[in-house]
Structure 1
Amino acid sequence: MSLPPLKTRERLSEVRYEIRGELARRARELEAQGRKQIKLNIGNPGAFGFRAPEHLQRAIVDGIADTDPYTHQQGLPAAREAIAAFHRQRGTPNASPERVFVGNGVSELIDLSLRALLNPGDEVLLPSPDYPLWSAATILNDGRPVYYRCAPENGFLPDPEEIEALVSSRTRAIVLINPNNPTGAAYPRALLEKIVAIAQRHKLLLMSDEIYDSIVYDDTQFQPLAPLAGELPCLSFGGLSKVHRACGWRVGWAVLSGDPLVSGDFHHAMDLLGALRLCANVPGQFAIDAALHGENTIAPLCAPGGRLYETRRAVIDAIGASQHLELVAPAGALYAFPAVVGAAAQGFDDHAFALELLETEDVLVVPGSSFNVPYRNHFRVTLLPQPEVVREVFARIERVLDRHVQRQAEAASAQTLANRAAVA
């Protein structure tokens, strides 16, 4: 007797995560055939030769004898104090260890916090483009993503008036990703103050994904949200994965600021959900104090001559020389989000392009529509490879786009001849 297939949760059909999806699976198949891939789909520093700083590694080694037991569900007391102290230095109101949650990366805490917040049908205002985990976590916790545009023509910055127009009686939170993934946009203080005012008027929770907070370029200054939010409830996310190049350690945190009386029930809900998963990875928590209060190792990488800065420069230069691409230069984070323009944009489909690039040029990128945008003429690349690798990548991208333009021209010519023949 044959068994029927196991049914899965229906809402999973609404979830997209192309960063590790169909194209990544195809890349692994090609690798198994012996083809060498240049994978620019994931912001994974360790895969490009970066290492977590030595003083963080030493902190884990020094604490390893104390890592066997479970710890408190919100994290090691010393780690939470280090995070709270860091946020107090920034001016975060009511930052205390009791209001810090350590998780297995920011990803876990995004899911946990939305689970604590949402009832079925509640809405969350998300940026478009967004990091798709935010959309997925909203959907899988029975909420509804409502997108506010961060348009390329506005430097990928949102319009506060549009954000406020989207607020409904079901809206529970406004999410910001700053610096932004995938665009690299960094939000100025005046814009953040307007968004805080919207949350204040409508009594909404602010959720600020700041995992790239210290990765900024040129004269860009990162502005944390919590100091501007004051007594308004605000949840600020950070971690070791990006700034400290320790993705595999799975160490993230969320800091709940604002009036404790207003957010008390939410705090207890997060604590309960944290307890149900027992605790986060313990060894990595021993590196938090060293990361936040030790040597700044990311700034040199982001300054002229630094690895990230020079790769970013190589991306900007390559796109500037391209016949087919435009770019809003990333002000922060680890990504660029180029647009295909001109003749190459005619009949262009970002997923078909990414697949052709992979199949013919052995380069893996992420289609722009994977980041919940309505247009299909963008793609995302990381800024993690060496500059010379990026230059080679964009030479291959140019070849694919040249072929696309040629095919479009041949199709148009054939159509013209067909039309003439029909008239004759």
Structure 2
Amino acid sequence: MEINGSREWNFRVEEEEQGNAASAVTVRGVLNLLFQNIRKDDNNKPVDVVIPLGHGDPSNFPSFRTAAAAEDAVVHALRSAKFNSYSSTNGLPSTRRAIAEYLSDDLPNKLTPDDVFVTLGCIQAIEMVITALARPGANVLFPRPGFPYYEARAAFCKLEVRHYNLIPEQGWEVDLEHVEALSDENTVGMVMINPGNPCGSVYTAQHLEKIAEMAKKLRFVVVADEVYAHICFGSTPFVPMGVYASVAPVLTLGSISKRLCVPGWRLGWIVTNDPHGILKKSGLTRKMINCLDVSADPVTFIQGAIPDMLQNTTKEYYSKIVAIVKETAETCYSKIKDNPVIDCPHKPEGSMFVMVKLNVSLLDDINDDLEFCIKLVQEESVIVMPGVALGMKNWLRITFAIEPSLLEDGLQRIEAFCQRHAKKQ
């Protein structure tokens, strides 16, 4: 084809591909949209303190500073001059060994370094797993609501996505009947997020076992996103999905981002919980290695710091972070209960988020969750995540992993905003 008498450029993107890219919603993309609506003065500076209740990055706040042992480990690794070279494909052997030992504390089957693949944060772990699972005609099951990056990666891999429901009134448990109804002989995997982003849920051991039995029956792998592992503050303790790997194979995704409050350090992992060798025999393990062969590695001095970081960070530090999150979760839940415009079907028990239902029928000039979030930014400089970005229209995701005083301020602003836009009686 020629345009204006000249030959068209070879690198054009087909309309179908443009549509796929446009439909690949990400948290960053939605947050960028919201940030564009912040009120600014003539010098292009925000006119008010912006309160970020839209994404889980507690590292910006003094209460969530990482452990001194973690900082010391990085400094020591950097100054040792032992970690300035390229990393091996799967990660440094010492890093893999340390992660295997760290995770094995909670598992009946001890992991080995060969079970661990070090990644550039959990985002790369998601990319590698979804890419490895993709094949012509295959489909994968994602939770609704869930973490939208899974959908974005699946869209680029042309992997069909089917969404299974979570049940709000049952602590956001997996709707197992819906999973079975969606599955067929081409279903390659099921993603499960526990503790839950965006729901604040923590699954019981009994529920996890049922999920494993379902995966065995339907013959797919469970991808267990456990980035928020051990950030639990309710009555249900964290149990890793790998406990049930003898029932069905499990790919565990994790990172140091949340528990150590260092998302910018970009160190994550994929772990094969596979005592029967099913993942290896199927070729999936080899395909993940092939994907890692053509991707970037985590920074080597961060990898080099992992053994000391995991060994020397105290239980007291972890307990302190959980105590702060528990306090802010309580604050968030109590304030929400007093606001008739938003409803919380389940009190958060883990992670750093809560999902709340937006009652747009009580609002005078707001039609949906996205409009609510945009106007909230414009009028109150408070950012929350619209549920439509997570597959749940007219819901909101709120993070409570910020400085307690800022959280209270933000929730008060949300309440004032709702009162201002409430329908007149």
**Normalization by structure 1: what TM-score?**
0.89
Q: Deviations over 1:237-288 (max 9, x none)?
A: 1111000111110000111021464212111111121121253221211332
C-alpha change, 1:101 and 1:184, in structure 2 (3 Å) is same
Q: Deviations over 1:157-193 (max 9, x none)?
A: 1221221111112200011000010111111111111
CA displacement at 1:231 relative to structure 2: 5.7
Question: In structure 1, what is the equivalent of residue 412 of structure 2?
Answer: 395
Matched, 1:323 2:336: no
Question: In structure 2, what is the equivalent of residue 72 of structure 1?
Answer: 88
Matched, 1:126 2:132: no
Question: In structure 2, what is the equivalent of residue 47 of structure 1?
Answer: 60
CA displacement at 1:114 relative to structure 2: 1.2
Question: In structure 1, what is the equivalent of residue 305 of structure 2?
Answer: 287
Question: In structure 1, what is the equivalent of residue 390 of structure 2?
Answer: 371
Asked if 2 retains the 8 angstrom alpha-carbon contact of 1:104 and 1:251, the reply is yes
Deviates more, 1:260-269 or 1:58-67: 260-269
CA displacement at 1:220 relative to structure 2: 2.5
Question: 1:180 aligns to what SS in structure 2?
Answer: coil
1:334 to 347, 352, 355: 352
Q: For residues 19 and 354 of structure 1, what CA distance do their matches in structure 2 show?
A: 15
Q: Deviations over 1:83-121 (max 9, x none)?
A: 111232222536210120001101101111111121133
Q: For residues 219 and 143 of structure 2, what CA distance do their matches in structure 1 show?
A: 19
Question: In structure 2, what is the equivalent of residue 84 of structure 1?
Answer: 100
C-alpha change, 1:104 and 1:342, in structure 2 (3 Å) is closer
Deviates more, 1:181-190 or 1:94-103: 94-103
CA displacement at 1:293 relative to structure 2: 3.0
Deviates more, 1:339-348 or 1:14-23: 339-348
Q: Where does 1:23-38 land on structure 2 (aligned, <5 Å)? A: 23-27=33-37, 30=40, 32-35=44-47, 36-38=49-51
Asked if 1 retains the 8 angstrom alpha-carbon contact of 2:213 and 2:248, the reply is no
CA displacement at 1:334 relative to structure 2: 0.7
2:399 to 374, 382, 393: 382
Question: 2:59 aligns to what SS in structure 1?
Answer: helix
Q: For residues 104 and 122 of structure 1, what CA distance do their matches in structure 2 show?
A: 26
Asked if 1 retains the 8 angstrom alpha-carbon contact of 2:92 and 2:303, the reply is yes
Question: In structure 1, what is the equivalent of residue 320 of structure 2?
Answer: 300
Asked if 2 retains the 8 angstrom alpha-carbon contact of 1:214 and 1:299, the reply is no
1:189 to 191, 198, 205: 205
Question: In structure 2, what is the equivalent of residue 204 of structure 1?
Answer: 220
Question: In structure 2, what is the equivalent of residue 417 of structure 1?
Answer: none
Structure 1: gaps spanning 5 or more residues: 411-424
CA displacement at 1:153 relative to structure 2: 2.4
Matched, 1:351 2:365: no
1:312 to 319, 329, 341: 329
Q: For residues 181 and 109 of structure 2, what CA distance do their matches in structure 1 show?
A: 28
Q: For residues 388 and 59 of structure 1, what CA distance do their matches in structure 2 show?
A: 31
Asked if 2 retains the 8 angstrom alpha-carbon contact of 1:93 and 1:231, the reply is no
Matched, 1:277 2:331: no
Asked if 2 retains the 8 angstrom alpha-carbon contact of 1:232 and 1:259, the reply is no
Q: For residues 12 and 25 of structure 1, what CA distance do their matches in structure 2 show?
A: 21
Question: 2:248 aligns to what SS in structure 1?
Answer: coil
Across the aligned residues of Structure 1 and Structure 2, the Cα RMSD in angstroms comes to 2.3
Deviates more, 1:132-141 or 1:247-256: 132-141
Q: Where does 1:113-152 land on structure 2 (aligned, <5 Å)? A: 113-152=129-168
Q: For residues 342 and 368 of structure 1, what CA distance do their matches in structure 2 show?
A: 13
Q: For residues 393 and 140 of structure 1, what CA distance do their matches in structure 2 show?
A: 36
Q: For residues 396 and 217 of structure 2, what CA distance do their matches in structure 1 show?
A: 36
Asked if 2 retains the 8 angstrom alpha-carbon contact of 1:93 and 1:258, the reply is no
Question: In structure 2, what is the equivalent of residue 13 of structure 1?
Answer: 22
Question: 2:415 aligns to what SS in structure 1?
Answer: helix
**Normalization by structure 2: what TM-score?**
0.88
Corresponding pairs, count: 403
Q: Where does 1:211-226 land on structure 2 (aligned, <5 Å)? A: 211-226=227-242
C-alpha change, 1:42 and 1:178, in structure 2 (3 Å) is same
Deviates more, 1:313-322 or 1:385-394: 385-394
Aligned structure 1 segments of 4 or more residues deviating by more than 6 angstroms: 1-5
Asked if 1 retains the 8 angstrom alpha-carbon contact of 2:245 and 2:275, the reply is no
